[in-house]
Structure 1
Amino acid sequence: MRQRHLGKNGPQVSALGLGCLSFGGMFGPTTEAETLRTLDAAWDAGITFLDTANRYGEGVSETMIGQWLKTRGHRPHIATKAAFSDDPARRIDNRPEHLRAELEGSLKRLRVDHVTLFYAHRHDPLVPAEDLAGTMQRLQEEGKILGYGLSEIGPYTLERCHAVHPVTAVQNEYSLWTRTPELGLIQRCAQLGVAFVPFSPLARGAFGTPMADPASFAPTEFRTRIPRFQAENWPHNKAKLDAFHAFARTRGLTPAAVALAWLLDRAPHIIPIPGTRTADHLRAWVLAPEIDLSDDDRQEIDRLLPLGWAWGDRYDDQQAATVERYS
């Protein structure tokens, strides 16, 4: 697989990473055997960058990766995240004692003594960005992390942190149906030599094969709360998505592969992290870095899915409460 730099001073990693959220059961039940098969398939395909978090299945995702590392002996680059708190009075906690304790738990579950990348899963408004960067700098100096990142932040937080200690990567939602990072964040990352890591690059299954179907979502699944999947918006979104899926088929490709190829085509510092809990779904998009889009392809994608085409927001108000706004 083609490689990209994880930030100006970071290591080379596969152009696609693997998002490991679904190993924790976020999109339905899975098994240890299926998770290990998926990780094997990713490694065999050349994916060397795994993205997880302590909250994914409340440690299950990290534990499964740790089991895979123990039994296979592979050494991928691992990113994990922390910041969410069980304290109802403080949903996000960037205090040094919290981040340090959460990182130690992650290292134990992953069975490693350090990770390549440690993200603040969200920025805590009660902790100045400069203090957060200082905490991350100390963890890096101690060898527990090789670099740090920020998730769901605005350009202003990136600038404040980077001025104290260089940021390795920023992870925000970005895809053909969520384009907000184009309003300055992607550009600022490029200027500072920071990798931009899009999560949910397949629009939470909307670019999957088969396409996500809200009628099949379990009542407790978080996608049921996302406005874009709700009854007043989904028919409009599905009509646009159907046309895109048809275009991908005319190219002899899956919609997922084309959606990822579009992201990779946007800028060389972009490293998407599509997620799946099955090896079969992974095979539908893993060759995306080998796809070179033509000018005609770009024009047709822009025609089918123009900027701002999606009906509804990407989060409901509760889900969006911890996300920094900058537009």
Structure 2
Amino acid sequence: MSFKQVELGRTGIMVPQLAFGAMSFGGMFGPTDEETSHACLDAAIEAGITFWDTANIYGMGVSETVLGHYLAAKKPEGITIATKASIIPGPPRRIDNSYDYLRSELEGSLEKLGLSSVELFYAHRHDPETPIEEVAETMGRLIDEGLIKGYGLSEVAPYTLSRAHAVRPVTAVQNEYSLWTRLPELGLIRSCAELGVSFVAFSPVARGMFGETSVDRADMREGDFRLSNPRFTEPNYSHNLAKVEEFRQWAHGRGVSVAGAALAWVMAQGDHVIPIPGTRTAAHLNEWLDAQKIEMDAATLAEIEAILPAGWAWGDRYGDKQMVAVERYC
């Protein structure tokens, strides 16, 4: 059994409905090395997970470099690559959506990846001082120049999507979405479906909470942004851990992995909804694989909703400093 193939926006490019996020390859959540990362990519290919997502700031180029070395060494076929740019780390953190900046960063990303073009390129955040119509025009130029096949937006509101799409059709929107982050249900997932835009759900296993064991604060290294994230600070963390344990017991009672069940739930929200979990290891990736065989019928969805109803999580998904250029619409 392999993951269902879905169209990436309206590009004609078909991708598995479960994708792979390579942020962890940049050391964002702990030490990693290229050999381990490449073994993880081997496992992804074996599982049919061939849509890979990275960004210029993941390890300040490390993630893209790791992917580039793998592509050069293994030469796998049928891989779809997405990358992103716009965030300039601080302090203070800044967002740059200008053509000159995005094109320059894209060229750097292509060099690291060893590619002449990528299938998808995101504006990683929207600079509120730059009209989104200008961003759409910039992305259109990059498409016309043959550097990208389609473009995306990240952490945007439905109105921003519709404004950009009117100028140049958007391929994908990437926002956080999972059983503990449900905001996109208030218009964004529906807007994507209506416009023929893929909705790429990042952090679909709740930053490690929906695993066979939940992420432990004691295991987080200094600098891990989760240490200051409201959902990982007390008393919120203990409450959230207890609720996730209820879901874990439900999943185990059904004989499925916790991550697989969480991912199957996300995919059940629409054929255009593509979860993009990330990991550093093949072992964790293999926990996802039963997502393709878990049937999410109405009764199952109702059982999950009874355990984890919308709004169950304590604490905001980001702290105030992490909300820079994240669009709020409700």
Of the candidates 306, 316, 321, which is equivalent to residue 318 of structure 1? 321
Shift of the alpha carbon at 1:126? 1.4
Give the root-mean-square deviation of aligned CA atoms.
Answer: 1.1
Superposed, 1:9-88 pairs within 5 Å as 9-75=11-77, 76-86=79-89
Please, which runs of 5 or more residues in structure 1 have no aligned partner? none
Change (3 A) 1:188 1:208: same
Q: Which runs of 4+ in 1 moved over 6 A?
A: none
Please, which runs of 5 or more residues in structure 2 have no aligned partner? none
Output one character per residue of 1:60-80: Cα deviation in whole Å (capped at 9) or x when no partner: 000000000001111400000
User: Sequence identity, in percent?
Assistant: 56
Distance 1:304 1:215 in 2: 26
Distance 1:88 1:246 in 2: 42
Q: Is the deviation greater in 282-291 or in 150-159?
A: 282-291
Answer yes or no: is the 8 Å Cα contact 1:107–1:115 preserved in 2: yes
Superposed, 1:1-327 pairs within 5 Å as 1=2, 2-75=4-77, 76-86=79-89, 91-327=94-330
Change (3 A) 1:299 1:52: same
Q: Is the deviation greater in 116-125 or in 89-98?
A: 89-98
What SS is found at the alignment partner of 2:83? strand
Distance 1:90 1:314 in 2: 19
Aligned-partner residue type, residue 269 of structure 1: H
Answer yes or no: is the 8 Å Cα contact 1:10–1:168 preserved in 2: no
Aligned-partner residue type, residue 64 of structure 2: E
Shift of the alpha carbon at 1:308? 0.3
Shift of the alpha carbon at 1:244? 0.2
What SS is found at the alignment partner of 2:42? helix
Aligned-partner residue type, residue 171 of structure 2: T
Distance 1:86 1:201 in 2: 24
Distance 1:28 1:85 in 2: 22
Shift of the alpha carbon at 1:201? 0.3
What SS is found at the alignment partner of 1:147? strand
Q: TM-score, normalised by structure 2?
A: 0.97
Answer yes or no: is the 8 Å Cα contact 1:264–1:289 preserved in 2: no
Shift of the alpha carbon at 1:100? 0.5
Q: Is the deviation greater in 29-38 or in 286-295?
A: 286-295
Answer yes or no: is the 8 Å Cα contact 1:122–1:152 preserved in 2: yes
Aligned-partner residue type, residue 144 of structure 1: L
Shift of the alpha carbon at 1:87? 6.6
Distance 1:304 1:310 in 2: 11
Output one character per residue of 1:13-36: Cα deviation in whole Å (capped at 9) or x when no partner: 011110000000011001110000
Output one character per residue of 1:263-321: Cα deviation in whole Å (capped at 9) or x when no partner: 11111100110100000000001231222123321111000000100000000000012
Distance 1:312 1:89 in 2: 24
Distance 1:290 1:78 in 2: 25
Output one character per residue of 1:188-214: Cα deviation in whole Å (capped at 9) or x when no partner: 000000000000000000101221112
How many aligned positions are there?
Answer: 327
Answer yes or no: is the 8 Å Cα contact 2:143–2:150 preserved in 1: yes
Aligned-partner residue type, residue 150 of structure 1: L
Aligned-partner residue type, residue 164 of structure 1: V
Distance 2:281 2:74 in 1: 18
What SS is found at the alignment partner of 2:292? helix
Aligned-partner residue type, residue 71 of structure 1: A
Q: TM-score, normalised by structure 1?
A: 0.98
Q: Is the deviation greater in 9-18 or in 287-296?
A: 287-296
Q: Is the deviation greater in 210-219 or in 131-140?
A: 210-219
Shift of the alpha carbon at 1:8? 2.8
